[in-house]
Amino acid sequence: MKSGRQKIEWARQYMPVLASIREEFGENRPFAGVTVGMALHVEAKTAVLVETLASGGAEVHITGCNPLSTQDDVAAALNAVPRVRCYAKRGCTVEEYYTALNRVLDARPSITIDDGMDLIHLLHTRRQELLDGIVGGCEETTTGIHRLRAMAAAGALRFPVIAVNDTPMKRYFDNVHGTGESTLAALMATTNVLMAGKAIVVAGYGFCGRGLATKAAALGARVIVTEVDPRTALQAHMDGMHVMTMDRAAKEGEIFVTTTGNTTVITGRHFRQMKAGAILANAGHFNVEIDIPWLAKHAESTEHRDGIDTYVIGGKPLHVLAEGRLVNLATPKGMGHPVEVMDLSFSLQALSARYIAVEGKTLAPGVYEVPAAIDEEVAHRKLTSLGLSIDRLSDEQARYLEGWEQGT
């Protein structure tokens, strides 16, 4: 537990935005009498968010959102915080994972905070008796929001949810810089191989893929991008990446990282084409991007190390990191996003949760953007913490931007 507390204190010193919010929450107690149910990666930065909500008066029940990403010492430290219960355990079975989600729901939360939508899914399927008590929720990641929008389109979503992922202050920093840096850090710490000069294949050039590809290129890698969207592929090309199909990239790549949020992106016919010693990792939310069941079925032999599973296919070893689960959190040395990035993302979560606590009952079921005022507030608080000032629009400039009369 001591090491968990030390990790939380370490993270806390680089989270000035959340610190300023925590101070205000401590005075105003916006969550007095509110129970918050959370399913997020249980590690130090998340713990700082949990403490922030608790200092605002919330009772917080939390579990993980991935069987491999929990840090047990942080979970133990959280259980020592007043009004907080944590049920997460690293390396839990799928059954234990769902038992823990159910324990969060047993606390009858009125606000949910998800990363991947598993809590909300459970509420709408097996725990529908609790739906009337929910005021609203917040969702952290792209994949969760895809699922929520599909639910809303089908008329199945029963309460309002804020799409925290989709707001600029999240996507432009967390997905781009956070996933980019932490994925490379986890890759290097787990494998000890050199990035400079490597052929690194990045599948998907969205927010996460773009960050990863750019940072890998900065380390001297030769970056190959695969895409399904022609506009995004062209953007990658003009950013200097080598764009090709996965069929071709499979033959050229030495390291592969999937960041698509899609399924079976790398599968049987690709594995058969790969070079001996190819390293495969996934940075997308679910472990469906690399076809691990195919590898397990067709491997001539397998070997398991800490964080690396080796499958021999056609006499060639292929190394999969973290069982194809998101590599920046699920490898033994994966620390998740850098602290400063999560300061922004979790400040958005804290303020969005407060928005739900205050306004949730007035909102119809559906997926909502983070209010622009919250997005800007987080940016301003961060700039202030950095000691940076920016210009303000003059009245004349504001009128000019809103007007249509002035031309050449």
- The residue count of the chain comes to 408
Site string for ligand NAI, 7-26 (x = CB under 6 A): --------------------
- Which structure tokens are listed for 367? 């997926």
DSSP letter string over 368-385?
EPPPHHHHHHHHHHHHHH
Nearer to ligand NAI, 322 or 357 (CB): 322
Q: What is the separation of C-alpha 64 from the centre of its chain, rounded to a whole number of angstroms?
A: 12
The reply to whether 204 sits near ligand NAI by the rule CB under 6 A is yes
Of 55 and 175, which has the nearer Cβ to ligand NAI?
175
Among the residue ranges 13-21, 228-236, 247-255, 266-274, the one whose residues contact ligand NAI (CB under 6 A)? 228-236
CB 41 → ligand NAI: shortest distance, Å?
8
Question: Is 247 among the residues that bind ligand NAI (CB under 6 A)?
Answer: no
- Comparing C-alpha atoms, which of 259, 305, 253 is closest to residue 282? 259
Residues 6+ apart with CB under 8 A from 223: 200, 202, 213, 216, 217, 241, 242
Q: Which of 259, 273, 347, 349 binds ligand NAI (CB under 6 A)?
A: 259
Closest CA to 4 of 32, 38, 58, 43: 43
Q: Which of 46, 52, 190, 260 binds ligand NAI (CB under 6 A)?
A: 260
Q: Is 25 left (phi over 0), alpha (psi -120 to 50) or beta?
A: alpha
Amino acid, res. 34:
V
Q: How far is the CB of 49 from ligand NAI (least distance, A)?
A: 15
CB-CB contact of 254 with 278 (8 Å): yes
| C-alpha Rg value of the chain to the nearest Å | 22
Choose one: 117-125, 131-139, 260-268, 309-317; the region binding ligand NAI (CB under 6 A). 260-268
Q: How many Å is the maximal CA-CA distance in the chain?
A: 73
141 makes contact with ligand NAI (CB under 6 A): yes
Residues 263-322 that bind ligand NAI (CB under 6 A): 265, 283-285
Q: List the one residue from 31, 87, 173, 207 that touches ligand NAI (CB under 6 A).
A: 207
CB of residue 82 vs ligand NAI: minimum separation in angstroms?
30
Q: Which residue's CB is nearer to ligand NAI, number 55 or number 331?
A: 331
Structure tokens, 124: 């709408």
Of all residues in the shown chain, the one whose CB is closest to ligand NAI is 206
Q: How many residues bind ligand NAI (CB under 6 A)?
A: 28
